[in-house]
Chain A
Amino acid sequence: MNAAPILQAESISKSYPGVLALDCVDFALAEGEVRALVGKNGAGKSTFVKILSGATQADGGTIKIGGERISIRNPSDAFASGIATVYQEMSLILGLTVAENILLGHWPMKRRFVVNMINTAETIRVAREALEMMELAIDPKAVVRSLSLPQRQMIEIAKAIATKPKVLILDEPTSALPTHEVDELLALVRRLASKGVAVIYVSHRLQELPRVVDSLTVFRDGRQVDTLPIAEATPERIVHMMIGSEWKRKQAAIHQVSDTVRLSVANLERKNRLHDLSFELHSGEVLGIAGLLGSGRTELLRAIMGLDPVDSGCVFVDGERVNRPSPLKMKRLGVGMTPEDRKSEGIVAMMSVCKNLTLSCLDKVSWRDMISISRERLLAQKMVESLSIKTPHLDAEAKSLSGGNQQKLVIGKWLNSQVRVLLMDEPTRGIDIEAKNQVYELVRDLAAKGISVVFVSSEMDEVMEVSDRILVLNGGRIAAIVSTADTTIERLLTISMSEAR
């Protein structure tokens, strides 16, 4: 590790309007070193990775590869300078072979008669070389569809390796994998390191880090807090560095949660996703659900709404079992959901604000299936005012609104249909700080009015801020259900990042 650094980044800064995402970060990585990057959401690690991979540009600072200064303006610059990035979402084309995927877009060509054709033999040879270097026993002629999930993940890495990178960036490579299939991948990372590839390993799973990384860098609020050898990094110390001391719990509005159980879930089970989930939601309660990416947060909400089938288990509303839940059935029982992906599941982008706000309560503004336009507009207008939705007028298209206001549309839609239970999946994702605070306030207001809220978020501090109780998911299981007053953010983080049983 005392060799000259292969990658050296000096005083990298990046700001987005209103936010300093990276503040003079220095970073050095030696040949064959595996370095973990950890930090809360928004700590700056993903911005840093984006800068190295060319997805975005730094405002200032220098990057050197092997002592030579390079500039990374786009992803192909990054590849050309020897930095290859593997993102968490799969980008393989399932119908093509392993070899075709590994060399996707730069297949070796040959000319036959007058046509350019893919040189299959050469493609397979190059792919095999990459696979052999990784010591993977995967047939380059196999179709990707026939491979298992971990194998596909490795092909994803092989794609990066085929470009012969000096630095390999792995962005949450294990988050999509079931826990028991992680080992193979970790071993692969070690093999690559032993061959001299420097690896930046972004992960939230603290428990797997000692098995794969040499050292660890913690980011917080756009700064590098510290870099230390993994032997010195206990989970407690890491969590402490991630959080710092500046976070103080805001006084969570302590209010009386009624004993009435509004919604309950019993033994919900879905293969590889949800395992034996049971919990109760009281009326007027805000139940926070915390957990990492892939811990089953979204799957849980979708299962309750009947959007995805479950293998076993059931959902009760007001003590009555719901047979085969569907969004329509749940709506009639007073349960609504605001989905994580606002644009593709929450709003109808080209419809007006007014029509979006009444989409789930058309029966309330119509008589014999005929919509009363005046009643509809009145209802929408009231909701625009009560949620202070910023829109030029009721007929503005939903897509013209800001993220925060779009989120309010989705919430308003459910309030209009008089839900008594609202399942909110990452309601503050991608919205500005002011809108976030409004959402928190709104959630507390709803609870005070007796509406029960399930609040899913990957940001522990906001879960702490709004919830009465917190359910921590880890690997599709309930790792803990705690009362907000009795827990700390450190504890929640530790529970959700520890290895799932």
Chain B
Amino acid sequence: MSPEPAANTLSKTSCDDKPVEKQNRRIRSFLGKFGLSLAVILLFVILSVTAPNFVTARNMINVLRQVSFVGIISCGMTMALIGAEVDLSVGSVVALTSALLGVLIIKLHIPIPLAIVVCLAEATIVGIFAGYIRVKWEIPGLIVTIALMLSLRGVAFVLTNAYPIPITDEGFAFLGGGYVAGIPFPAIIFILTIALFGFVSTRTVYGRSVYAVGGNAEATRLSGIPIRRVRIMMFATTGLLAAISGVLLTSRLSSGYAGVGVGWEFDCISAVIIGGTSLFGGEGTIFGTLLGVLFIGLLGNGMVLMGVNPYLQDVARGVIILAAVILSAMQRTKTSE
């Protein structure tokens, strides 16, 4: 067997570690771990100085509620991206949930709790369906969910004839607009979701399997982990979370409307990517996603308060996503050297 020269040079360089390089690496790994936290804090400080009325309790609560809708879905999207999948249908699931709620509650007079359960179940089943197609025919989840993105929104518009259906019920309005101990109810759901998924991703067999599938699906399959089930589960999760977010949003808007949630899939993916999750799977944290969600939320809020042109706001978001991805790519190539 001829020896592997590559392996030899590799071990050589790690022996020749210079102290300066070591320090650089330490700085890099520090920035890798805490860079985003620092960025969020820095952004917060800058905005408190520059943006009018930024540091007020009312504004903070506002931001918290605003980020929750996308934030809840982002938890599922984080799992999907870690598992080297992506779900582009979440925005349309939000829309379908909203439309369906309107139809069920107002037109069919179904009790609200039951209507909600039906919506959540429907979205979960659609997710399982997407995952099943993904694993059954080995079609990239990207394609499957693009198809769903189109057709689910179509269904939502057909169901409602493209009209918003007003839902006026005080109990229902609480879900999106109510407060518990001064915290908006959606934010509480968001925080619980973050906690739950933080736990799931790090401490459960399922979470570990997601990382493994995203890191090396073949090795994972060979280790006797049911990777098809894991993959289907990822799509079921994004579906369910999108529906939960859809229920909260519908309540907040007091109407079921098929035009909501446009572009949310990209808002979610942006937050997850800014949060340091790899687009190629295998790496990422829920905590990072929390920071990513906060970063985008604070930035958007700050720009609104400062009266930045809405189109320029989009430009800024785009630039930041690009910067985040380039930074993580640089870190990856540096550490693998």
A residues in contact (CB < 8 Å) with B: 16-19, 21, 41-42, 44, 46-47, 305, 307, 327-328, 330-332, 336-337, 339, 344-351, 355, 359-360, 362-363, 366, 369-371, 373, 399, 402-403, 413, 417, 428-430, 432, 459
Contact = CB atoms under 8 A, between A and B. Distances in A.
B224 A332 contact: yes
A215 to B, nearest CB: 24
Interface string B211-240: 110011011111111100000000000000
Contacts of B3: 16-19, 21, 432
Contact of B205 (A350, A363, A399): A363
* Secondary structure dominating the interface of B: helix
B282 interface: yes
Nearest to A50: B2
A328 B225 contact: yes
Given A328-B224, A360-B223, A402 B7 contact: yes
A190 to B, nearest CB: 30
B209 A362 contact: yes
Contacts of B4: 403, 430
B181 interface: no
Contacts of A413: 223
B224 A349 contact: no
B172 interface: no
Contacts of A429: 1
Most B-side CB within 10 Å, residue of A44, A337, A430 = A430
Given A350-B215, A362-B208, A327 B1 contact: no
B282 A351 contact: yes
B207 to A, nearest CB: 8
Given A17-B8, A41-B1, A350 B224 contact: no
A376 B219 CA distance: 19
A436 B13 CA distance: 23
Given A16-B3, A46-B2, A459-B1, 18 more contacts: A17-B3, A19-B2, A19-B3, A41-B1, A327-B223, A344-B216, A344-B219, A347-B216, A348-B212, A348-B282, A349-B215, A349-B216, A360-B225, A362-B209, A370-B205, A403-B7, A417-B224, A430-B4
Q: Give the interface size bracket for B toward A.
A: 20 to 34
A431 to B, nearest CB: 8
Contact of B2 (A47, A346, A369, A403): A47
Contacts of A16: 2-3, 5, 8
B222 A339 contact: yes
* Secondary structure dominating the interface of A: mixed
Interface string B1-28: 1111101100100000000000000000
Contact of B211 (A328, A331, A351): A351
B336 to A, nearest CB: 8
A47 B1 CA distance: 10
A347 B1 contact: no
Contacts of B205: 362-363, 366, 369-371
B208 A355 contact: yes
Given A47-B2, A351-B212, A327 B224 contact: yes
